[in-house]
Chain A
């Protein structure tokens, strides 16, 4: 089976992290974002993954080669010369997706994390005999999104309503689809929206079904949602593979610690923390609701919450980092500094406190 992952453009919402790496390679829960999806696809028998990107692939190619070899799955890039929207890239990759086998293929939005119940999706798609099955997720405030109006029993999709003013339903498009090759005949090679132009037509033909996504769902394309997403992911990990989480007197709640990371004495780590490879957490450090990326050193007595610390950065002794502080790659926060929501671009030194949210270039 094949899969297309819509990666898109420059990932500007995840800056400053995406100033150092393209978005698919930014780590989430100690693994490049795209690897979460590729591993789940491989597990249901996908043999080829095509990344639809909107920029030059050279930056990614070395990493992709590494994943290809490790996972034993073929990974290629389909490069858009102009932004083609959410459906256009499928037309661009047409030859790769419609290989003559008649098998349906997956389409995923690269920013989405969830439990990826692909096996159930395949089952459902086979049994409902439709042309396309999309995953939907229940949200509290559907009016912020595009709502999928569906028949709960049959799973058939009636219509899509973009940001509805009155309540029409509480399920929104989760960005995970399983499509028959015939869908490709409905898409032209031009900027096209799959939600606004393609799916409504399939729904009108009564051939579009929806499956309610079990478990969590999050679009982690921006820092605030990235931090919430980590909480949901670790919650799910607690239920499915609790042995992967850290345990011990210095751990509170769900915490993921890479085997190469070192944690000192007298620390209190958690809840909802991910510590990457090569990190050094010195003694007396408090970490909560944060991500610490590869190669970071957190010095003694520091306190970090609700923040993301970028690759190879350091946080000084007694520093306090909180309230959605995002440190880019190679940022060095001096001892005793306080950051309240600072967003710091790569290769900077922070020697004085940031008292209110501000961007440091």
Chain B
């Protein structure tokens, strides 16, 4: 098949509102995929990465958020990147493979030779063109992106064992209790259309087994595994795991950064990772300044063109400032995400925090945290429209939307 025949369709799984409770309080106001990292919505990073694939013809976002939450974004990004992006809403959760299968007609409409599947809540350099080349060399049905992590942390993920020469996937196990491998599943895959046959196979097998169960009353008494609905098919446990070692699946290893974006704390870390990546891929996005005409900028900083920053402020490293934010004189910002329409008044300090949309930070106030991305209160999070009054200190705390803080707060969750 010549390259002019090859079309690629990308599918990004974006999840839904009831699944994202760990992303509260930020997910109370915005669907997690649209939360900005490095100044761009979370889902935009995989979308832009897909654009770099030769012959990419369509991108689908699949999830169970309400359609209206994505309508504006999808229209704008299709226009901006000149690639069709469309949101498809699942009627109910089908599992990662089930969701892909339920929209196979849309995906196959363009008769693609390859399908790229990505999870939206993954922070990565998404080395898709190289991964696609490797997939073609391997000649299998699917290729899984893997990364090496520490042995201790590996059991939080799916662990993969691969042949060191052929890169064939030999064994896959999800969150094992004992150590299997330090290579883990990054949540990025490339498939040929055979994947749909494989998923179909799981449905058929399930139906057959269900029929068998009805006849075997002893099996009916045993409920060791919670029975899943027939059409709920998980990619990892139900497809990858059984097909490992059958010369159908391969792995491609990335040496770049990778994180799973589960909590607001981790999203601050990922924002910094993307800002650092901009230095190589899109340096024009990063701000610069030396305090004379524009504010002093240290390290990687993103400032939206509509934001206003006073020249006497000092910003960075690892700061992202969104649209229409106003940063006053003498403000110091370190390692933080400042969301849209925030006002930060004179001489305030913000360190290791996320400041929610429309919030206001008073003069000489201090909003900070220890900076432990993984701790429950390691990054201070202010929800939408939170007002921190002048001279108030907020440390290691989470504040839900629409609150006014007129006394200092330490190590607390404020509802």
Contacts and interface: CB of A to CB of B under 8 A. Distances in A.
A12 B398 contact: no
A9 interface: yes
Interface residues of B, number: 12
A345 B403 contact: no
Contact of B402 (A12, A16, A345, A347): A12
A348 B20 CA distance: 10
Contact of B400 (A9, A12, A347, A348): A12
23 contacts: A9-B402, A10-B401, A10-B402, A12-B400, A12-B402, A12-B403, A12-B415, A15-B400, A15-B415, A19-B28, A343-B415, A345-B21, A345-B24, A347-B18, A347-B21, A348-B21, A359-B413, A359-B415, A361-B21, A361-B24, A361-B25, A361-B398, A361-B413
Contacts of A10: 401-402
Interface in A62-80: none
Nearest to A16: B415
Nearest to A55: B402
Nearest to B403: A12
Nearest 5 CB-CB pairings of A with B: A15-B415, A359-B413, A10-B402, A361-B24, A347-B18
Interface string B223-261: 000000000000000000000000000000000000000
A359 B28 CA distance: 16
A13 to B, nearest CB: 8
Contacts of A359: 413, 415
A336 B413 CA distance: 27
Nearest to A347: B18
Interface string A325-361: 0000000000000000001010110000000000101
Interface string B296-318: 00000000000000000000000
A16 B24 CA distance: 13
Interface in B347-399: 398
A254 B171 CA distance: 62
Interface string B1-44: 00000000000000000100100110010000000000000000
A272 to B, nearest CB: 24
Contacts of A16: 415
Interface of A: 9-10, 12, 15-16, 19, 343, 345, 347-348, 359, 361
Given A15-B415, A361-B25, 6 more contacts: A10-B401, A10-B402, A345-B21, A348-B21, A359-B415, A361-B398
Interface on chain A toward B: helix, strand, loop, or mixed SS?
loop
Nearest to B18: A347
Interface in B173-230: none
Contacts of B25: 361
Contacts of A345: 21, 24
A359 B414 CA distance: 9
A49 B351 CA distance: 48
A175 B400 CA distance: 28
Nearest to B402: A10
B383 to A, nearest CB: 10
A361 B414 CA distance: 11
A9 B401 CA distance: 12
Nearest to A14: B415
A359 B411 CA distance: 12
A359 B415 CA distance: 8
A343 B21 CA distance: 15
Contacts of A343: 415
A361 B401 CA distance: 13
A19 B24 CA distance: 12
Contacts of A12: 400, 402-403, 415
Nearest to A343: B415
Contacts of A348: 21
Contacts of B398: 361
A298 B400 CA distance: 29
A232 to B, nearest CB: 25
Contacts of B402: 9-10, 12
Please indicate which of the listed interface residues B18, B402, B403 has the most CB atoms of chain A within 10 Å of its own CB.
B402
B246 to A, nearest CB: 36
A295 to B, nearest CB: 17
A12 B399 CA distance: 11
A19 B400 CA distance: 10
Nearest to B381: A361
A127 B400 CA distance: 48
B378 to A, nearest CB: 14
Contacts of B401: 10
Contacts of B400: 12, 15
A124 to B, nearest CB: 38
B98 to A, nearest CB: 21
A8 to B, nearest CB: 11
B415 to A, nearest CB: 4
A197 B413 CA distance: 35
A151 B303 CA distance: 63
Please indicate which of the listed interface residues A10, A16, A343 has the most CB atoms of chain B within 10 Å of its own CB.
A10
A345 B21 CA distance: 9
A359 B377 CA distance: 12
Nearest to A15: B415
Nearest to A359: B413
Please indicate which of the listed interface residues B18, B28, B400, B415 has the most CB atoms of chain A within 10 Å of its own CB.
B415
Contacts of A9: 402
A345 B403 CA distance: 17
B357 to A, nearest CB: 15
Nearest to B398: A361
B274 to A, nearest CB: 25
